[in-house]
Amino acid sequence: MEANIILIRCNKEKKAFGVRVQKMKDGDWYRTWAFKINARHAKNEGYDTNKVVGNLFATEEYPGCPYCGSKSFVQCGTCQKLTCWNGEENLPCHWCGTSMENIVTATERFTVTGDKF
């Protein structure tokens, strides 16, 4: 079994949280758990160097963001980081500040790297 931790930032609280992802037999990644974490601890654990490529589906047990409860996210086109998404059409990236306008959710396939958080 292959597992990893990726970081997402809450849209409402603007705080990072860790998400455990597990690669299943079908080759896709599944979000299985989420937990609060501070940036210093994430860096100490090496989460800032993790890279996940592929689909990021949620399991039925996935609790969502520990701050706002969202189970959805968007990826910034500039920094490639993930931010919680609650259906907003326009949303600032809480990693780099870029405005993400006209958000679409047509894909589940992502490349997520943890660098520069």
DSSP 3-state assignment of 24? coil
Instruction: Tell me the residue length of the chain.
Output: 117
Structural domains of the chain, count: 1
How far are the Cα atoms of 10, 43, 83, 88 from residue 102, in angstroms, in the given order?
19, 32, 15, 9
* Share in percent of the chain as helix, strand, coil (round to 5): 10, 40, 50
Name the residue among 78, 77, 73 with its Cα closest to residue 12.
73
At 18-32, the pLDDT tens digits run 999 999 988 899 999
Question: Tell me, what's the pLDDT at 105?
Answer: 47
Domain that holds residue 81: 2-113
At 29-85, the pLDDT tens digits run 999 999 999 878 888 888 877 888 888 999 999 999 999 999 999 888 888 889 998
